[in-house]
A and B are shown apart, each in its own frame.
Chain A
Amino acid sequence: MATAKPALAVWKFASCDGCQLSVLSLTDELLALADVVDVAYFLEASSAVHEGPYDLSLVEGSVTTPDDVERIHEVRRASRTLVTIGACATAGGIQALRNFADIDGFIDAVYAHPAYVSTLATSTPISEHVEVDFELRGCPVDRHQLLEVVSALLRGRRPSISPASVCMECKRSGAVCVMVAHGTPCLGPITHAGCGALCPAHLRGCYGCFGPAETAATGALAAWWQEILGVEHTDLLRALRTYNAGASEFASKGEQHVASGA
């Protein structure tokens, strides 16, 4: 480590750039980061591009075009460690809603010349295409968690990122449970921690931005929402089908409920 600084690359696939902005919004820590890594490829921040290989690649976005499929393999080949960041890269993002619909119908409705559009029928996470070393969840990712992942991997340490529920963070923060005390449907019990229970702290139910928690019990929560909180089936489906619609623990329950509610 006394030699050259490790090369960092930040890549974009189908995404809104919000996670890359989380890197930039590190502000103070960003300068410290720039001291210890060589920012070799980060178009959102600089047009100066250094060639690979890269020691650490952060990949934002999902795979939605044939071109993406090729490019992610190139990125993988050029990267020693590859970390996916955000709901798009780890679960397919909001654009994975197309997985449940007819893509040709969308194309015809939106584009004047559909023939120019080359796209896949699905939006899929990076891990469906190449091996991923670490997945950081969130829509967008939490910048402190992002810094932790980078700090850990630069030192060869496992990132300290808990895959347990948002409830764990909610209770630690001292917030009052919105589901128990207000009857507000909340996805916190099945959602991956990381946001610090942001929405419950503002008396809103969790929207599931960080995707499924470890062993997410979607069916058990859905049953309570419907039977006790009186949530309609379409609203349950909508709640499960947002930024992490493509994550199997959310998607499969959604499918099941489409089937049973039809």
Chain B
Amino acid sequence: MGTPADEARVMGVDGLDALIRALGERGYEVLGPRVRDGAIVYDGIDGAADLPVGWGDEQAPGHYRLSPRDDDACFGYAVGPHSWKRYLLPPRSKVFEAERGAKVFALRSAEMPRKRFAFVGVRPCELAAINIQDHVFLRDTARDVLYASRREDIALVAVQCTEPSGTCFCASMGTGPAATDGFDVALTELLDGHHRFVASAGSELGRELLAAVGAAEAEQADVDRATTVVDEAAQRMGRSLDTEGLAEALYANLEHPRWSEIAERCLGCGNCTLVCPTCFCTAVIDTNDVTGTGALRERVWDSCFTIGFSYIHGGSIRPSLRARYRQWLTHKLATWRDQFGTDGCVGCGRCITWCPVGIDITVEAAALHEPAPAAGAGR
């Protein structure tokens, strides 16, 4: 847990409010959790009062409900349906426009002028997810300019988790509930006695911000308390996943009957991939206007659950749901390692909660970890 006593600061809700405002004053577009339509989503925030104060959540496979808390916690819930990928890799973005004139053919690339983003309330699993997407999009050999332009100079205010949901398993994936690095400021909300936040800076910007809002030096007792609440959260994960030998087992079990059995429940709707903070797949779509003089290339979120995703000349190479679910799960937990050197899953639980029929990656992976039952014993 990264809150060494010598650096730790402490502040109240007014300090948090000042921090959010300080980011706005520095020209950032400040985004954070808000209540909307019965869930906690990410959107613009102007101050601490915009946060889901006093709200918690109840999450289970295919199930999400907001629930009122009996305190004024600002961060007393786990992640909702949105992830920061919505801002770094927008659901739809223009790649370029083209215009055919009488003599010239003009290309206009996507304009990227915008305010820098400040993300407030970034959970440790989300820091890990951003790190994973950075690795996908910012490698020297394959740098994605659209992603890079949005990712550059963002400010990250992380919040360590104290209220894991029924579908969280970051502790199994080694991504939470403590934030270790990759943030400008990390907060831990303490609700015993005086409502306060233990804050530590992870960058020069973070140190500046904490100084600007006048956060006092934290007492050792507060630092210890912050460590305790996060350690306790690690014990209260709603789910767990044994990753030991999992990738190898998945490779060995590509013909496991479980895949067919899942295919009878799976809708192929793609929700799991679009809510996943690490899934990065997009489709490139070319269109022209009705006059035939203007053309547009866009990039939109796609999913390996669509038929078009694996369409090559002549047809889709993954027409069955069995093949598509297998692609998704093995990419998250096995082939991602070969491709990028990490798991493709950070244990945020979104795919479990937001699967409309509650298909649970931890349950399916555990079943697929075991060898197929002997012939005749299965279905």
Cross-chain contact A203 with B37 (CB below 8 angstroms)? yes
Residues in A132-158 with C-beta less than 8 Å from chain B: 147-148, 150-152, 154-155, 157
Which interface residue of A33, A173, A175 has the most chain B CB atoms within 10 A? A175
Residues in A neighbouring B266, C-beta threshold 8 A: 217, 220
- Distance in Å: Cβ of B82 to nearest Cβ of chain A: 7
Q: Judging by beta carbons under 8 Å apart, are B289 and A151 in contact?
A: yes
A188 smallest CB distance to B (angstroms)? 7
Complex interface bits, B273-308 against A, C-beta within 8 A gives 1, otherwise 0: 011000000000111111110000000110101111
Q: CB-CB < 8 A to A33: which residues of B?
A: 290
Q: B62 near A: Cβ within 8 Å?
A: yes
* Contact flag A215-B290 (CB < 8 Å), given A168-B306, A220-B266: no
B271, CB-defined interface residue at 8 Å:
yes
Pairwise interchain contact A171-B356, C-beta atoms closer than 8 A? no
Consensus secondary structure, chain A interface? helix
Instruction: Identify the closest chain A residue to B287 (Cβ).
Output: A160
B47 within 8 A of A: no
A36 within 8 A of B: yes
Q: A151-B289, A203-B37 are in contact. Are A174 and B86 (CB under 8 A)?
A: yes
> Contacting chain B: which of A98-106, A176-184, A240-248?
A176-184
Given A168-B274, A180-B354, A189-B271, the answer on whether A163 and B289 have CB atoms closer than 8 Å is: no
**A220→B288 CA distance, assembly (Å):** 38
A148 neighbours in B (Cβ, 8 Å): 287
B275 touches A171 (CB 8 A): yes
B81 touches A176 (CB 8 A): yes
Contacts of B303 in A (CB 8 A): 164, 168
Chain B residues numbered 291-348 whose CB sits less than 8 Å from any CB in chain A: 291-292, 300-301, 303, 305-308, 319, 321
Give min CB distance, A115 to chain B, whole Å. 48
A232 within 8 Å of B (CB atoms): no
Whether B267 contacts A189 by the Cβ 8 Å rule is yes
Count of inter-chain pairs, beta carbons less than 8 A: 142
Question: Which of A157, A181, A215, A228 touches B321 (beta carbons < 8 Å)?
Answer: A215
Count chain B residues whose beta carbon lies closer than 8 angstroms to a beta carbon of A: 47
Instruction: Say yes or no: A221 contacts B357, CB within 8 Å.
Output: yes
Does B268 lie within 8 Å of A35, measured CB to CB?
A: no
Q: Does A32 contact B (CB under 8 A)?
A: yes
Q: How far is the CA of A32 from the CA of B294 in the complex (A)?
A: 12
Q: Among A33, A181, A221, which residue has the most Cβ atoms of chain B within 10 A?
A: A181
- Measured CB to CB, the nearest residue on chain A to B91 is A172
Most buried by A among B36, B66, B267: B267
Question: Interface code A165-209, partner B: CB below 8 Å = 1, 0 otherwise?
Answer: 101100111111101111000101110000000000001000000
Residue in B92, B265, B286, B353 whose CB lies within 8 Å of A220: B265
List of A residues within 8 angstroms of B305 by Cβ? 164
Considering only CB atoms, which chain A residue lies closest to B295 in the complex? Answer: A155
Known A-B contacts A151-B289, A164-B270, A177-B81; the reply to A224 vs B307 at CB < 8 A is: no
Tell me, in angstroms, the Cα distance from A100 to B268 when the chains sit together.
Answer: 28
Chain A neighbourhood of B64, CB < 8 A: 177, 180-181
* B193 on interface, CB distance cutoff 8 Å: no
Question: Residue B21 at the A interface, CB < 8 A?
Answer: no
Q: Does B244 contact A (CB under 8 A)?
A: no
The answer to whether A154 touches B292 (Cβ under 8 A) is yes
**Quick check: is B51 within 8 A (CB to CB) of the other chain?**
no
Given that A151-B287, A220-B357 are known contacts, is A163 also in contact with B62, CB under 8 Å in the complex?
no
Q: Is the CB of B37 within 8 A of A181?
A: yes
B356 touches A180 (CB 8 A): yes
Q: Is A44 an interface residue (CB 8 A)?
A: no
Task: Determine the chain A residues whose CB is within 8 A of the CB of B357 once the complex forms.
Answer: 189, 220-221, 223-224
Residue of B nearest to A182 (CB): B38
Q: Flag whether A118 is at the interface (Cβ < 8 A).
A: no
Does B63 have its Cβ within 8 Å of any Cβ on chain A?
A: yes
Instruction: Flag if B269 contacts A167 (CB, 8 Å).
Output: yes
- Asked if A190 contacts B267 (CB within 8 A), the reply is yes
Are B290 and A167 touching (Cβ within 8 A)?
no
| Bound-complex Cα distance A74 to B268 (A) | 39
Q: Is B264's beta carbon under 8 Å from chain A? A: yes
State whether A152 and B287 are in contact (beta carbons under 8 Å apart), knowing that A162-B308, A220-B267, A221-B267 are contacts in the complex.
yes
- A214, CB-defined interface residue at 8 Å: yes
Residues in A209-253 with C-beta less than 8 Å from chain B? 213-215, 217, 219-221, 223-224, 228
Contacts of B39 in A (CB 8 A): 176, 181
A180 partner residues in chain B, CB cutoff 8 A: 62-64, 81, 353-354, 356
Taking the nearest CB of chain B, how far is it from the CB of A215, in angstroms? 5
Say whether, besides A154-B290, A181-B65, A215-B321, A172 and B301 are in contact (CB < 8 Å). yes
Question: Which residue of B37, B291, B301 is within 8 Å of A171 (Cβ)?
Answer: B301
- What's the least CB distance linking B165 to chain A, in Å? 13
- Residues from chain B with a CB closer than 8 A to the CB of A181 are 37-39, 64-66, 81
Would you give the shortest CB distance from A166 to chain B, in whole angstroms?
A: 8
**Complex: chain A residue closest to B60, CB-CB:** A180
Cβ-defined contact, B300 with A172, below 8 A: yes
- The residue that B291 contacts in the complex, of A35, A163, A175, A213, with Cβ under 8 A, is A35
Contact digits for B31-69, partner A, Cβ 8 Å, 1 yes 0 no: 000001111010000000000000000000011111000
The 8 closest A-B pairs by CB, nearest first: A172-B91, A171-B274, A189-B269, A167-B269, A189-B267, A176-B37, A164-B306, A176-B39
9 contacts between A and B (CB under 8 A): A163-B308, A171-B275, A176-B41, A177-B64, A181-B66, A189-B271, A215-B307, A215-B319, A224-B358
20 new A-B contacts, CB < 8 A, other than A150-B290, A213-B269, are A36-B292, A154-B290, A154-B292, A157-B288, A160-B285, A165-B269, A167-B269, A168-B301, A168-B306, A171-B274, A172-B92, A174-B41, A177-B354, A180-B64, A188-B269, A190-B267, A203-B37, A221-B357, A224-B356, A224-B358
